[in-house]
Amino acid sequence: MVCTLTVGQLKEALGLTEPDPEPTKKEKLTVPEAVEYLNEIGVPITKSTLYRYTMDSTIPFRRWGERKIIFNTTELDNWAREKLK
């Protein structure tokens, strides 16, 4: 019986594969990404609430052009830490 394996399959069978690296955290987030990120770190928030916080300037954000809103993950982490106290 002959078995044909690729190099990747052989490495996996022998336990020689390296684990996938941790995904890198994005530094800049759009509004939908920020909503997802905040929910993942334990701050339940909706898109409309996030927009309201930007209008009230109660959350750190930047504008890119006239309409695009960008969030910095480090600033969101600090804001969330304060909010969860």
How far apart are alpha carbons 45 and 84 in whole angstroms? 13
Q: Look up the pTM and report it.
A: 0.71
- Using only C-alpha atoms, what is the Rg of the chain? 21
Determine the straight-line distance between the first and last CA of the chain, rounded to whole angstroms.
65
Q: Which secondary structure element, helix H or strand E, spans residue 49, and what is its range?
A: helix 47-56
Average pLDDT over residues 35-53: 96
How far apart are alpha carbons 76 and 50 in whole angstroms? 11
How far apart are alpha carbons 85 and 75 in whole angstroms? 16
pLDDT of residue 16 exceeding 80, the answer is no
Give residue-wise pLDDT tens across range 46-84: 999 999 999 999 999 999 998 999 999 999 999 999 988
